[in-house]
Amino acid sequence: MNAAARVLVVDDSATMRGLITAVLRSDPEVDVVGQAGDAMEARAAIKALNPDVVTLDIEMPNMNGLDFLEKIMTLRPMPVIMVSTMTHRGADATLAALEIGAFDCVGKPSPGEPHPFGDLAEKVKAAARSQRQYVKPVAERAPPAPAVADFRVGRKIVAIGSSTGGVEALINVLQKFPANCPPTVITQHMPPTFTRSFAERLNRLCAPVVEEATDGARLAIGKIYLAPGGERHLRIANSSAPHCRLVEGAPVNGHRPSVDVLFDSVAELAGRNAVGVILTGMGRDGAAGLLKMRHAGARTIGQNEKTCVVYGMPRVAHELGAVEHQFPLNAIGEEILKITAARKEGSE
């Protein structure tokens, strides 16, 4: 049996610290070794207790969570899970934290929520096991030049699924795309209020147009559609004029939206005229759907273990035989473009 994950809980609210601690201590594989109310207390506690993981409130007095996170990643890189308000402002701050190097994020519960911080213990355990490589934050910059000179897009649709670590991974992949990239649909596991901010962030950083998917949005060259978090799944419909559908349904593999739901629809709609990509993430969502895509003739790519924050979803997909080839993260964007480029004698 592995040793329990040792956690330091950092939040300026004693009530919130108590709630997080109670949730984590309900899992016998998690050991809350200490609490801190601000960055100064947290710094001393990290030195004294040497935790495996820190949960960190974004909004704190004296030094906010983002500034403290940057210091952690500079001086003592370690897994940090951000705790954020479920607001647009909270979403922007959380996305910045994920780019700085935070392992994952959880939203603060609303009053009366029956299962607050439902999967926090699982995230803490995954963080403690993680062997991620900490990186410098992604700078705000102009979109890079296309990875493939004079790219001419073919007729394929690209479908991407990701979860823990997906913010950094998606930025890495999509910044390789030229402005005339193939139509691309993405399901990233993320709290409901965060996906719009993430789509806006990607749109600023990438050459193509990136937007949160809306029901009925027609797939177009040069556009990337991110599934909104929350109540509905993203599917692709209508083979003659492919468009996004946001559909009601129970969570699949514990997620809504689910990568499997998206991949299933792409397998049915596009068959061999699709590329499926599964990136870093906890669990197994997307593995079965990617296998359906491969059986339908699609090309399929998985992120390799070494470059994953969590080698969960790509591992299961690889073990099922759903992944045609595994690549390091830095190579995936260019590989997608190679597959989706029009052939010299004409479009695919």
Our answer to whether residue 12 is catalytic in this structure is no
pLDDT of residue 141: 43
* pLDDT tops 90 at residue 118: no
* pLDDT tops 60 at residue 300: yes
* pLDDT tops 90 at residue 115: no
Highest mean pLDDT among 31-45, 55-69, 127-141: 31-45
| pTM of the full structure | 0.89
- What would the mean pLDDT of 343-347 be, rounded to a whole number? 53
- What would the mean pLDDT of 163-188 be, rounded to a whole number? 96
The residue from 84, 130, 162, 163 that is catalytic is: 163
- Structure tokens given for 15: 């009530």
Our answer to whether residue 285 is catalytic in this structure is yes
- Structure tokens given for 23: 């949730």
Report the top-level CATH class of 5-133: alpha beta
| Range in 31-35, 122-126, 239-243, 297-301 with the lowest mean pLDDT | 239-243
Encode pLDDT of 251-293 as tens digits: 999 999 999 999 999 999 999 999 999 999 999 999 999 999 9
Encode pLDDT of 326-341 as tens digits: 999 999 999 999 999 9
Encode pLDDT of 143-167 as tens digits: 454 445 577 888 899 999 999 999 9
pLDDT of residue 108: 86
The residue from 52, 84, 130, 189 that is catalytic is: 189
pLDDT of residue 85: 81
The fraction of the chain above a pLDDT of 90, given in percent, is 75
Q: Cα–Cα distances in Å, from 29 out to 26, 116, 175? A: 9, 18, 38
Domain ranges for the chain: 5-133, 157-340
Confidence of residue 131 (pLDDT cuts 50, 70, 90): low
Contact 77, 137 (CB under 8 A): no
pLDDT of residue 191: 84
The residue from 11, 52, 57, 285 that is catalytic is: 285
Superfamily for domain range 157-340: Methylesterase CheB, C-terminal domain (3.40.50.180)
pLDDT of residue 135: 45
Contact 97, 82 (CB under 8 A): yes
Our answer to whether residue 243 is catalytic in this structure is no
Same fold, 5-133 and 157-340: yes
